Amino acid sequence: MLTNNLGYPRIGSKRELKKACEQYWSGNSSIQSLVQTGRDIRKHNWELQKAAGIDLIPSNDFSYYDQVLDLSLTVGAIPKRYHEVILNKGNSELDLYFAMARGYQKDGLDITAMEMTKWFDTNYHYIVPEFTKDQQFKLFSTKILDEYNEAKRLGINTKPVIIGPVSYLLLGKEKESGFERVDLVKNLLPVYLEILRKLEEQHVEWVQFDEPFLALDLTGKDKAAYAYVYAEIKKQFPKLKILLATYFGALKENTALAASLPVQAIHIDLVRSPEQLETVLADLPDQMKLSLGLVDGRNIWKNDFKASLSLIETALDRVKENRLIIGSSCSLIHSPCDLELENNDKVLTPEIKQWLSFARQKLDEIVSLKQIAANYPSAAAKLKENEAAHQSRKTSALIHKAFVKERLAAISVKDDQRGNPFALRQKLQQEALGLPLFPTTTIGSFPQTSEVRSWRARYKKGELSLAEYDALIEKETEETIRFQEEAGIDVLVHGEFERNDMVEYFGEQLAGFTFTKNGWVQSYGSRCVKPPVIYGDVYRPEPMTVRWSAYAQSLSKKWVKGMLTGPVTILQWSFVRNDQPRSETCTQIAFAIRDEVNDLEKAGIKIIQIDEPAIREGLPLRKSDWQEYLQWAVKAFRISASGVKDDTQIHTHMCYSEFNDIIQHIADMDADVITIECSRSQMELLDAFADFKYPNEIGPGVYDIHSPRVPAKEEMVALLEKARSVIPAAQLWVNPDCGLKTRHWAETKKALTEMVAAAKVLRESV
């Protein structure tokens, strides 16, 4: 049995790459020093994997920004607008690469960056390739060869990793009409063949082709492209060992297609879909090797050796040992680097730590699994230790809270129902709240200035007492309330100055969450996130936001909106426990948020917003799985929102408005008011709501908060007129696209003043 790793985190265990890139971008370090950092990280990673006993060690999994962008550069898919950047201004290949990733504003040029989007259902974002009709490709960057040779010089024979041609095309976007990008496969394949020829000259043994789209819904054309590509490769390189890697889901109806491809081995994700093992084994041709993705690349839990071994045994029943490969489920770039760096018992307690495994520990797990399966005498102790850790997780009082489980078991049909339907609630709310037509509001946060952030940092360091810190936040809150009153905004917010992050803030106060010191995961480019860890049953020991909302409300006669993050968003942006279904964890969070909503109401808060910007990104990759997800996700939101009286107004917010395919479910959430992003699409995205005859109230964002630009009143009036032409006036709210925390005060004040003036124009016109 060989051991296999699909990819290793490249940010460096202390985020060395992030720092080196940002230094270089700001002009504070040389390209040589950046390149040296890259080389150091690669060396470190390769040697680590070799020492751990991994046989198939990846190369070309390193990236200065993104692996999809690497490939675009490799195959010369460089959009025309960057041609001026190429080499003629003393730019290196890396400068061109960063220009594509981040845009280029220098030497009188102003070139926009390429688009970025989510990598399947992860929180990693990739740079979307741009394709044009009849596009030609050529080998432009030799990164994959260089890194293979670099490892070889260190005495390590690696397995170069490349995104397969079909997945690469499907990841991209057509920039003009009249063609389908998968048609470009004929033009693209020769570059792959050239790369393989060069690798073969260097005596490469294995090459990993990532084809995650094989685990998604495919068209007939896509399938034909797969058959074509791998047959051509086989024709030209009969001896080369291709490992075809699939992950993030089951092959399902594509199993026969995958098994028919003439490759040496296929890799399947058995963490996401252990049930696919049987069907894949049934279709596996006689000579093909099977790589079992057993160690979760996307989460932080210790592998359950017993469960993994039972899968290995199932495979061994059908397939000889030498045809099996033991591996990570996907690339480890989605997990943090090294658990050993978590050495602060106060941040992460030893009890919880024993249940965890980060990338470095996952390598050991892969090797241990092989050793246990192959009956190495030394491995028995590892199995024992692993069983003990899992036993402690099953029974730990830290994780399991009977009263939380009882509450979920006792869930009743009423728990996700408001008292009355929206039409009646709307009347009651109108009477209770007395708001004008086209009420104005904001999405929650006001500028998080460096001053505000410095107070938090000083408080955490112990340089400010809690009383001093609170006093500063109170002052900032009061000034923000005063500004909103002066500006004439109808529904005020407290500004969220006490929050570092909309998920972390709640995670810190909810039971069942913990945090890490160094658990960084790449989000995009040099951006890393440190998601909270949900390890146990979730509940809310004490009110979380009531103090701040009540304080803000005490300052004003106008309504101040309470501000919470919703259960689905908290779930999506955390590492989630794997010992119960996600839906159950989400429901637990929903009840915790419900308690907070109810307490806010008790404290006199009549309008409460529950943000759910991540509802859409939680959608499963396969359409056939959508209904199940949407059912529990919508229900979780409803549970959190349904404990209040009919005349309490529930808002929700989402940072986008592409809802065509899930508009029914958005309506089922039954928030009294939803605020969405609309300004950049000139209200066109509102059409989904109009066509559906969305019954509740809507605040389509009238200005883009991602830019410092201050829109004029007339612009917003025009957008609102457009909105009014498709949505009845009595349903419309006036607000920005999203929270203002990244903006400066000066532009915020101007823009909101213009926004209020725009609402007045509309009111006068009815």
Tokens of 270: 């058995």
Nearer to ligand GLN (CB atom), residue 445 or residue 514: 445
- Find the shortest distance in angstroms from Cβ 614 to ligand GLN: 9
User: According to the binding rule CB under 6 A, does residue 330 interact with ligand GLN?
Assistant: no
Nearer to Zn ion (CB atom), residue 519 or residue 701: 701
Tokens of 642: 């349904």
Q: Which amino acid makes up residue 49?
A: Q
Instruction: Scan residues 259-288 and list those touching ligand GLN (CB under 6 A).
Output: none
Q: Which helix (H) or strand (E) holds 385?
A: helix 380-395
Nearer to ligand GLN (CB atom), residue 294 or residue 608: 608
Tokens of 314: 């199932």
445 contact, one of Zn ion, ligand GLN, none, CB 5-8 Å limit per kind: ligand GLN
Instruction: Scan residues 723-752 and list those touching ligand GLN (CB under 6 A).
Output: 738-739, 741
- Name 676's bridge partners: 700
- Find the shortest distance in angstroms from Cβ 566 to ligand GLN: 10
Radius of gyration, alpha carbons of the chain = 27
- Find the shortest distance in angstroms from Cβ 660 to ligand GLN: 20
Scanning 267-275, 441-449, 552-560, 684-692 for contacts with ligand GLN by CB under 6 A, the matching segment is 441-449
Backbone φ/ψ region at 547: left (φ over 0), alpha (ψ -120 to 50), beta: alpha
Nearer to ligand GLN (CB atom), residue 285 or residue 708: 708
User: According to the binding rule CB under 6 A, does residue 597 interact with ligand GLN?
Assistant: no
467: how many CB neighbours lie within 10 A of its CB?
8
Nearer to ligand GLN (CB atom), residue 165 or residue 531: 531
- Find the shortest distance in angstroms from Cβ 568 to ligand GLN: 12
Q: Long-range contacts made by residues 211-214, C-beta under 8 angstroms, separation at least 24?
A: 211/163, 211/164, 211/166, 211/167, 211/244, 211/245, 211/246, 212/120, 212/167, 212/245, 212/246, 212/247, 212/248, 213/166, 213/167, 213/170, 214/167, 214/244, 214/246, 214/251, 214/254, 214/257, 214/258
Q: Would you give the binding string for ligand GLN spanning residues 490-509, x where CB under 6 A is met?
A: ------x-----x-------
- Find the shortest distance in angstroms from Cβ 460 to ligand GLN: 21
User: Of residues 164, 444, 447, 567, which one binds ligand GLN by CB under 6 A?
Assistant: 444
- What residues make contact with Zn ion under the rule CB under 5 A? 613, 655, 738
- Find the shortest distance in angstroms from Cβ 502 to ligand GLN: 5
DSSP letter, residue 103: -
Nearer to ligand GLN (CB atom), residue 495 or residue 525: 495
Tokens of 693: 């005859």
477 contact, one of Zn ion, ligand GLN, none, CB 5-8 Å limit per kind: none
Residues 6+ apart with CB under 8 A from 233: 192, 193, 196, 240, 242, 262
311: how many CB neighbours lie within 10 A of its CB?
18
User: Of residues 561, 653, 665, 743, which one binds ligand GLN by CB under 6 A?
Assistant: 653
**477 HSE (CA, 13 A, CB side):** 24
H runs (alpha helix) in 242-302:
255-260, 276-283
Residue 682: is it exposed, middle or buried by C-beta count within 10 angstroms (0-12/13-18/19+)? Answer: exposed
The active-site residue, picked from 267, 665, 706, 744, is: 706
Query: Which residue in this structure is represented by tokens 């952030």?
Result: 453
Nearer to ligand GLN (CB atom), residue 297 or residue 613: 613
- Find the shortest distance in angstroms from Cβ 117 to Zn ion: 17
Angle between helix 93-102 and 67-74 (nearest 10) = 130
Q: Would you give the binding string for ligand GLN spanning residues 612-651, x where CB under 6 A is met?
A: -x--------------------------------------
User: According to the binding rule CB under 6 A, does residue 563 interact with ligand GLN?
Assistant: yes
User: Of residues 74, 123, 167, 445, which one binds ligand GLN by CB under 6 A?
Assistant: 445
| Alpha carbon distance, N-terminus to C-terminus of the chain | 75
Number of residues binding to ligand GLN, judged by CB under 6 A: 13
Residue 451: is it exposed, middle or buried by C-beta count within 10 angstroms (0-12/13-18/19+)? Answer: exposed
Nearer to Zn ion (CB atom), residue 72 or residue 545: 545
334 is annotated as an active-site residue: no
Q: Which residue, among 545, 471, 470, has the nearest Cα to 502 in the 3D structure? A: 545
- Find the shortest distance in angstroms from Cβ 265 to ligand GLN: 42
User: Of residues 130, 222, 342, 611, which one binds ligand GLN by CB under 6 A?
Assistant: 611
741 contact, one of Zn ion, ligand GLN, none, CB 5-8 Å limit per kind: ligand GLN
Interacting residue ranges for ligand GLN, rule: CB under 6 A: 443-445, 496, 502, 563, 611, 613, 653, 655, 738-739, 741
Active site residues: 706
